[in-house]
Amino acid sequence: MTETDITGTDWHAWQQSWDRQQEWYMPDREERFRVMLDMVEACVGRTPRVLDLACGTGSITARLLARFPEATSVGVDLDPALLAIARGTFEDDPRTAFVTADLKDPRWTEALPHTSYDAVLTATALHWLHTEPLATLYGQLAGLVRDGGVLMNADHMIDQTTPRINAAERAVRHAAMDSAKAEGALDWAAWWELAAKDPVLAEPTARRFEIYGEHADGDTPSVAWHVEALLGAGFGEARAVWASPSDAMVLALR
């Protein structure tokens, strides 16, 4: 997608542009969403109340409602630009609500419209946090997930015990990314440059960079770390339910 493809404030075009930019980094992104929703159905059924955590533009919410029309979703994020796209995309959908909150604020859960959720879902977002605040967040989420409910986190989860495997995978992945970029794919920086030029998104994009800077400096701990942290937070079971050569998804059952 080029700059001329997303002129004005066509929220669905911005949503699709975000998806394409993310797929440049993660070509298996749709597969992880499919498995995530498979496990939602398996564990809590087809009519869940979902907390879309660090929701961004609402990518999980869009796929959730397309697959489960009777589901409801509450998206929470701090990014004013991505939340503007989410709210614009779903403005006429009564099944959705979006909340501005900082997940590092100890009282962020007070901004939510419900105190209990069947599922908390998040993808490619919590690596913005260091391990200590992430472990604290897992404890807060354990208090939001109902008994029998689930939390799923799909993210960069790096096994530092396999450096040669990691390097080989990274080399192949980056070669594919370079090829796609040469054919016109937008990366993170290029996408935000377009957002900054949009008459409606320019102001929230500027605020977004005031909040985060170029990119937050978080951690990418291993699957084993996430499992241990989730069990320590009070979940009854936790393990990986999906993995690619670079990423993984852990599911914790309350």
Task: Dump pLDDT digits (tens) for 155-190.
Answer: 999 999 999 999 999 999 999 999 998 998 899 999
- What was the pLDDT predicted at 214? 77
80-89 and 202-212 helices cross at what angle (nearest 10)? 140
Predicted pLDDT of residue 9: 80
The amino acid occupying position 248 is: A
**Tokens 């009070």 found at:** 234
Residue 4 has pLDDT above 70, yes or no: no
Q: Is pLDDT at 131 greater than 80 in this prediction?
A: yes
CA distance 18 to 92: 20
Residues 6+ apart with CB under 8 A from 232: 135, 138
Percent of the chain with pLDDT over 70: 96
| Chain centre to alpha carbon of residue 116 | 20
Average pLDDT over residues 131-155: 98
Residue among 242, 58, 51, 79 nearest 142 (CA): 51
Separation CA 226–CA 70 (nearest Å): 31
Domain ranges of the chain: 3-253
Token output for 214: 């170029």
As a whole number, mean pLDDT of residues 201-230 equals 92
Q: What is the 3-state secondary structure (H, E, C) of the chain?
A: CCHHHHCCCCHHHHHHHHHHHHHHHCCCHHHHHHHHHHHHHHHHCCCCEEEEECCCCCHHHHHHHHHCCCCEEEEEECCHHHHHHHHHHCCCCCCEEEEECCCCCCCHHHHCCCCCEEEEEEECCHHHCCHHHHHHHHHHHHCCEEEEEEEEEEEECCCCCCHHHHHHHHHHHHHHHHHHHHCCCCCHHHHHHHHHHCCCCHHHHHHHHHHHCCCCCCCCCCHHHHHHHHHHHCCCEEEEEEECCCEEEEEEEC
Model pLDDT, residue 7: 45
What is the residue type of 5? D
Amino acid 215: pLDDT: 73
Residue 3 has pLDDT above 70, yes or no: no
**Does the pLDDT at position 120 exceed 50?**
yes
Average pLDDT of the residues in 230-254: 97
**Pick from 216, 213, 208: which is nearest to 79 by CA?**
208
List pLDDT tens digits, range 6-42: 445 899 999 999 999 999 999 999 999 999 999 999 9
Q: Given a cut of 70, is residue 1 above it in pLDDT?
A: no
Query: What would the CATH number be for the domain defined by 3-253?
Result: 3.40.50.150
CB atoms within 10 A of CB 105: 11
Distance CA 246, CA 179 (A): 19
